[in-house]
Structure 1
Amino acid sequence: MNVREFIETWEIHNRINLYLLNAIPDEYLSDISASKGRNVGEHFAHIHNVRLMWLKSAEPLLLSDQIKIEKTIINKRLLIDELANSAKAIAALLQNGFEQGKIKGFKPHPIAFLGYLIAHESHHRGQIILCLKQSGHPVDKKIQFGLWECGSR
């Protein structure tokens, strides 16, 4: 097992999140789907805050440089900075988890944890794209295809 490749997979995944966020104009962060729920900015904040939840549970020392994003203070710069920040902490959690063979509070193993994180965040990327589309601000086709270009992210 090449641990570095798993960490790189996480880093690619986070760059794809940031690629999408960077393509969204600030004023569209408040877009919401027809079925209500979270708006675009809140989906990104939720991704970050769930990362913090896992850090708190599995390795609290990695929380020291992290801040929870509250609904009242969401803006693009904050989201970009904090998603990058929490991604680094999750990379450290994964690294430690691979070395120890486990992530505290998660079963069965660190590879499954990585899969869980990517699945969860990718679900929210889909929700973000839906919010934008239903609000009349569909993501540009180039960006949509770019989300799948793992080798260049």
Structure 2
Amino acid sequence: MKDQLETWHINNRINLYLLDVIEESALEDVSASKGRKVGDQFAHLHNVRLMWLKAAAPELLEGLLKIDKEVKINKEILQTELHKSAEAMAKLLEKSLAENKIKGFKPHPTAFLGYLISHESHHRGQIVLTLKQAGHPIDQKTQFGLWEWGSR
């Protein structure tokens, strides 16, 4: 269980590492296909976590803010809320791993962890592509850093 929880925390640190290098103004960048803004992508990660918490462990939602259209998205809000939702998700994972089940998801909690990380990795890729298309590419050090899970 310890390894799975650490893996989840590394994933979140990678998200925050990417967010940290993005200029505040670049949160407004939109992809060439007119998808979500960069800031909205990060908000989506957080909001999907809340969706799973609501379904599987609503008691863990206390103190968490849904980042919807009325919330002015900035790096501070994203960093704070991603950190808080990651902690709540870690509690959900810990409980689910101990019980070997997660409400609303099959087949098992380790697969759920894989699902969560796959989803968030997909959106990190979209964020990087959007920034590149908008003329704000992340530097090469950060690009490689997204894959250095052993140092995050």
Question: TM > 0.5 between the two?
Answer: yes
TM-score (norm 1): 0.97
Aligned partner of 1:31 among 29, 32, 51: 29
Q: What is the DSSP-based 3-state SS (H/G/I as helix, E as strand, rest coil) of the residue aligned with 1:148?
A: coil
CA RMSD of the aligned region, Å?
Answer: 0.6
Q: Does 1:127 align with 2:126?
A: yes
TM-score (norm 2): 0.98
Whole-angstrom CA distance in 2 between matches of 1:130 and 1:43: 12
Alignment of 1:3-152 (within 5 A): 3-72=1-70, 73-152=72-151
Q: What is the DSSP-based 3-state SS (H/G/I as helix, E as strand, rest coil) of the residue aligned with 1:77?
A: helix
Q: Structure 1 unaligned segments of length 5 or more: list them.
A: none
Q: Structure 2 unaligned segments of length 5 or more: list them.
A: none
Alignment coverage as a number of residue pairs: 151
The percentage of counterpart residues that share the same residue type is: 64
Structure 2 counterpart of 1:116, one-letter code: Y
Structure 2 counterpart of 1:106, one-letter code: F
Structure 2 counterpart of 1:66, one-letter code: L
- Cα deviation per residue 1:28-78 (whole Å; 9 max; x = unaligned)? 000011000101000000000000000000000000011100234211100
Whole-angstrom CA distance in 2 between matches of 1:110 and 1:133: 35
